[in-house]
Structure 1
Amino acid sequence: MTHSAKCPICGQPSATAYRPFCSRRCADVDLGRWFGGTYRIPGEQLPDAESEKAEINDKT
């Protein structure tokens, strides 16, 4: 008995060509989530660019 891996997006059996996904669509959905910032690693918040510019201008 073999257990096929399931697509992390839709739960269908994964396809070898798109592993671990079942299709190009699900692979693209996952990529879009990465680009959109849905997947994040918790950490210390970085200062935004405008506050960094203000600090630089204050020092000069």
Structure 2
Amino acid sequence: MKTPARKTVACPTCRKPVLWSPASRWRPFCSERCRLIDLGEWLSEEKRIPGDPAYAPEN
């Protein structure tokens, strides 16, 4: 009998392999540190989803 393949994904921050399972607390990240780095990049707008602004900036 074959054992099921263990699915791994690359951490979005450092590219380290991460087991995709409920036991992986920070998935898809390998650690809380990588999760916080990614969050900081979104908050500082280093990462963003392209498109028109959701609101018109005030001058």
Question: Does the TM-score normalized on the shorter chain lie above 0.5?
Answer: yes
Rg: which structure is higher? 1
What range is the shorter-chain TM-score in? 0.5 to 0.7
Query: TM (normalized to structure 1)?
Result: 0.65
Q: After the TM superposition, list the runs of 4 or more consecutive aligned residues in structure 1 that deviate by more than 6 angstroms.
A: none
**Percentage identity across paired residues of the two chains:** 38
Q: How many residue pairs end up in the alignment?
A: 50
Which structure 1 segments of 5+ residues have no match? 51-60
Unaligned 5+ residue runs, structure 2?
A: none
Please give the TM-score of this superposition, normalised by the length of structure 2. Answer: 0.66
Q: Which structure would you say has the larger RCO, counting Cα contacts within 8 Å and 6 or more residues apart?
A: 2
* Root-mean-square deviation (Å): 1.9
